[in-house]
Amino acid sequence: MITLRKAEERGHANHGWLDSNFSFSFAEYYDPAHMHFGALRVINDDRIAPGMGFGMHPHQDMEIITYVLSGAIEHRDSMGNGSIIRPGNVQRMSAGTGVRHSEFNPSETEETHLLQIWIMPNQKGVTPSYEEKIFSEAEKRGQLRLVASPDAENGSVLIHQDVRLYVGLFDGDEQYVAPIQMGRKLYVHIARGLLEVNGIVLKAGDAAMLTHETQLQLAHGQHAEALVFDVF
């Protein structure tokens, strides 16, 4: 079964400096039909104005992944980490027993566009930790590159949950076909462009939830970037 989550059906909030679309219930947006997908709890599609951002704020017992689509985000946290995350980077922060961090757009002229992803952990109270890795465009071109997993497989960042996150870039004749393991389900989020997912054309911001499907097919992309979450 394939269930669509269209971009225009998502929750939305515009604070002037921050324009956000919510795939799942978040903050003041509440939709009981879209609370989570397995352990996937949040996909916030955020656009942050130049020089603006989130001041120091706390998190606890959540696996947080930041994926920048354009621009950059400057991260600082109570563990002593500080870096500027750009497209191609995948940042993972395990909040565990508690961590505080800030996120600001360091540019004075360019908007930052990013996805903020939260995954519910399989255990509470882990020691907070931080990780950041770069994945080249070539690794994602016409295929799915594993970027986050519970065992750091193939150089992916480590998350405390049985979830695997893949990213792929598709354009023109590039195609990808792979079986879906029995008992697993997929959440395919289109970050940009157009992409055909199991025969259904999706645009930026759209998502397809695949349950009880045996195969994933990605084809006929138009400057597409897709995130695929493999959950139980």
- Strand 144-149 and strand 157-158: pairing? parallel
pLDDT given for residue 73 in this prediction: 98
Cα angle vertex 191, ends 83, 102, to 5°? 25
CA distance 159 to 63: 6
Reading the block at residue 155, the tokens are 């150089």
**The dihedral sign for the CA sequence 18, 163, 64, 87:** negative
Q: How confident is the model at residue 45 (pLDDT cuts 50, 70, 90)?
A: very high
Contacts of residue 222, defined as CB under 8 A and 6 or more positions apart, other chains included, come to 171, 193, 194, 195
CA distance 156 to 146: 6
- How many CB atoms are closer than 10 A to CB 109? 7
Q: What's the Rg (C-alpha) of the chain?
A: 17
CA distance 208 to 201: 10
Domains and CATH numbers, the chain: 2-231 (2.60.120.10)
CA distance 12 to 46: 10
Q: How confident is the model at residue 43 (pLDDT cuts 50, 70, 90)?
A: very high
Determine what percent of the chain is predicted with pLDDT higher than 70.
Answer: 100
pLDDT given for residue 184 in this prediction: 98
pLDDT given for residue 44 in this prediction: 98
CA distance 96 to 42: 17
**What is the average per-residue pLDDT within 204-210?**
98
Average pLDDT taken over every residue of the chain = 98
- How many CB atoms are closer than 10 A to CB 7? 17
Question: In this structure, are residues 97 and 155 in contact, taking their beta carbons and an 8 Å threshold?
Answer: no
**What is the average per-residue pLDDT within 128-156?**
98
Which amino acid would we find at residue 12?
H
Q: How confident is the model at residue 182 (pLDDT cuts 50, 70, 90)?
A: very high
**Each residue of 214-224: pLDDT tens digit?**
999 999 999 99
